[in-house]
Structure 1
């Protein structure tokens, strides 16, 4: 992914317009929610807030917790090695939309 740098001016009402290049990169538009995350060093990360489509509030809360934990402590993340038997177990299962094209055997 290429680096995008854009500037925007703060108005007297403390409002700003998100530059079009940023809106396109984040795939955001009218009605979308955006999230600002500020690190301890003062860097700001802006991302599109994606709603968890889960009827179960416990599942939604757990997924939110996982997301925050992964962002806060990326050093805890590790590569998950795929079990060799998974190809046999998934034989005949349509994985379109679940995996990237390069992950489908």
Structure 2
């Protein structure tokens, strides 16, 4: 059975606290992540990482996490895009308007 770790944090005058590093690591929390609290009848509070909301794309989130880890561990791999590629991308996408809040058609889903 794994050992139980116990840590403390202090509430500020505004009832805020810093989540201790050991807890952040155990829950794999990053900045802006949400925390879920379960309050049990005896007064015990269980802190867990909140599940991604329905609006979050788990595949995109995993991919962006992969990119972030790769950039952090291998910054030497980053390369600037040359002006020719930028111009080509602008020529291909220039003038295209996208409504990110619009629903997809049934054919596009």
TM-score range, shorter chain: 0.3 to 0.5
Larger Rg: 2
The two structures have a TM-score, normalised by structure 1, of 0.47
